[in-house]
Amino acid sequence: MATATGTQPYNPYETAQRQFDHVADLLDLDQGTRALLRVPLREYQFSIPIRTDSGAVRVLRGFRVQHNDARGPSKGGIRFHPQETIDTVRALAMWMTWKCAVVDIPLGGAKGGVICDPHNLSAREQEGICRGWVRQVAKNVGPTIDVPAPDVMTTPQHMVWMMDEWETIHGHRGPGFITGKPVGMGGSLGRTEATGYGVVFTLREALAQLGLPIDKTKAAVQGFGNVSQYAIQLYSKMGGTVVSVSSWDQNEQTSYAFRRPDGVDAAELMKITDPFGGIDKKKAASLGYEVKPGEDWIAEDVDILLPAALENQVTGENAKRISPRVKIVAEGANGPTTPEADALLKDRGVFVIPDFLANAGGVTCSYFEQVQSNMNHYWTQDEVLGKLDVKMTHAFHDVAELAKCRKLYMRDAAYVIAVSRVAKACRDRGWV
Ligand code: NAD
């Protein structure tokens, strides 16, 4: 796991708990509710044995953490990552609870993962991992219990294998068990674009609130995966200019930033990007992009920073490199900002659209997919993206209004709304 200080291993769960403690204080939350919401309700940790292509047995470690389901079935993605840890999964599960609550969808929070690197696994081996993961938790997940989805390095194909395994075990069709499926196999139109578009819907509202015309703004983006690609597409379509985008180079095990002052072209870059979001350095250079060290994305002279890669990327150290021109940080990734960097941004008066609000478009559309799958009736793409815009815009204004009224930092306001809603559901159920 990357380090925040260079010496201490970064622990996102500690960050998530620190954020929660801070809001619990703001809300003057009672001791029982604090104790309940500070840790996950349920955790599953298990082994997944698979037969590799060479015929050997390999045993991988898998996780599912259900943080809270007071407001509805838990919901959250499954990540395949070589540095996955139980604490990362716990943090992400907790953030899912707040995310579903802040956009007011009737779901709780969960997250899953497998310690593995799909770069080094054949399709058959990946199928084995997907089916093995479902076998370990088949009785603890389902449309009315806990609904998984894709996340970092997991794809719609992985979701179909998981759905097939779950349906085989349970002996009936149940496409509402999992979301992020391909269209035509229970997937929703608009899901691919949803997270990136959702980030830009909230960004559009933030710019309007600050009185900044979108077509006069510039942005720098970290990451070029699912979230980033569609965020760049919509932001550019609305007239904004992305001057730099970075991505991870798997061969060199480092990141690069691809810079073009008159604006990067997402569609052009997608043609030279691998399925994991890695941009081909040589091809980008031949298309006229300046290739810089990956960490330089943060120092661009822009109005908007959009971290959309991984957690722990904007740190106390590199936040000092952020240009004074930056007015908005829209957190596309989960947990991209460490508490130290957050304090710096707060001091400087940067308008932060916190992760669990900014990137809630994914789970909102997953919820739409779940609803459609359960009905076995599917909406048009315009219908889905229209509903998404309404939900994200509404959620943004709920948070921005509270921030204004109570003079709160945006992250705090989003937390106050989310934690209050979950705490109320726990009280209504008589849990606390
Ligand atoms: P992805 O795997 O599709 O893309 C990740 C991108 O980040 C890739 O382009 C990769 O090259 C890049 N990257 C990795 N390490 C990097 C580094 N050190 N420097 C620069 N670039 C780096 O993932 P995604 O689905 O786009 O998710 C990105 C983030 O958004 C994650 O934090 C994820 O949890 C969060 N998120 C995703 C969704 C979703 O619907 N996909 C929803 C909500 C939140």
Q: Are 409 and 346 in contact (CB under 8 A)?
A: yes
Q: With 90 as the cut, is the pLDDT of residue 136 above it? A: yes
What percentage of residues in the chain have a pLDDT greater than 70?
A: 98
> For the segment 297-346, what is each residue's pLDDT rounded down to a tens digit?
999 999 999 999 988 899 999 999 999 999 999 999 988 999 899 999 99
For the ranges 8-12, 358-362, 414-418, the lowest mean pLDDT is seen at: 8-12
Q: Are 353 and 331 in contact (CB under 8 A)?
A: yes
Residue 280 — φ and ψ, nearest 5°?
-70, 115
Tokens of 317: 């150290």
Q: What is the pLDDT of residue 12?
A: 87
**Average pLDDT value for residue range 247-251:** 95
270 confidence band (pLDDT: 50, 70, 90)? very high
> Residue of the nearest CA to atom 4 in ligand 1?
225
Residue 264 — φ and ψ, nearest 5°?
-75, 155
Tokens of 430: 């008589």
Ligand 1 centre from 219 Cα, in Å? Answer: 17
Residue 68 — φ and ψ, nearest 5°?
-160, 140
Instruction: List residues near ligand 1 (CB under 6 A).
Output: 151-153, 195, 222-228, 246-248, 255, 276-278, 294, 308-311, 332-334, 359, 362
First-residue to last-residue Cα distance in the chain: 36
* Strand partners of residue 368: none
> Residue of the nearest CA to atom 29 in ligand 1?
333
Q: What is the pLDDT of residue 4?
A: 37
* Of 191 and 62, more confident: 62
Q: With 80 as the cut, is the pLDDT of residue 1 above it? A: no
> For the segment 376-401, what is each residue's pLDDT rounded down to a tens digit?
999 999 999 999 999 999 999 999 99
Q: How far is CA 133 from the centre of its chain?
A: 21
**Non-local CB neighbours of 430 within 8 Å, separated by 6+ positions:** none
In 237-333, which ranges are E strands? 241-249, 254-259, 290-293, 304-307, 328-330
If you average pLDDT over every residue of the chain, what do you get?
95
**Average pLDDT value for residue range 77-84:** 96
Q: Are 305 and 217 in contact (CB under 8 A)?
A: no
**Average pLDDT value for residue range 231-242:** 98
Active-site residue set: 111
Q: With 60 as the cut, is the pLDDT of residue 115 above it? A: yes
How many other CB atoms are there within 10 angstroms of residue 56's CB atom? 8
| Closest by CA position to 92, among listed 64, 130, 60 | 64
In 310-378, which ranges are E strands? 328-330, 351-353
Q: What is the pLDDT of residue 95?
A: 92
Ligand 1 centre from 155 Cα, in Å? Answer: 12
> Residue of the nearest CA to atom 12 in ligand 1?
223
> For the segment 146-202, what is each residue's pLDDT rounded down to a tens digit?
999 998 899 999 999 999 999 999 999 999 999 999 999 999 999 989 999 999 999
Q: What is the pLDDT of residue 9?
A: 74
Nearest-angstrom CA–CA distance, 84 and 95: 16
Ligand 1 centre from 226 Cα, in Å? Answer: 7
8 confidence band (pLDDT: 50, 70, 90)? low
**Average pLDDT value for residue range 64-87:** 97
* Strand partners of residue 108: 74
423 confidence band (pLDDT: 50, 70, 90)? very high
Q: What is the pLDDT of residue 3?
A: 38
**Non-local CB neighbours of 176 within 8 Å, separated by 6+ positions:** 143, 147, 370, 373, 374
> Residue of the nearest CA to atom 20 in ligand 1?
247
Nearest ligand 1 atom to alpha carbon 191: 40
For residues 359-371, one letter each, b for 16 or more C-beta atoms within 10 angstroms of the residue's C-beta and e for the rest, the string is bbbbbbbbbbbbe
Nearest ligand 1 atom to alpha carbon 79: 34
**What stretch of H or E contains 178?**
none
Tokens of 121: 């696994």
Nearest ligand 1 atom to alpha carbon 311: 32
Ligand 1 centre from 3 Cα, in Å? Answer: 18
Confidence (pTM): 0.90
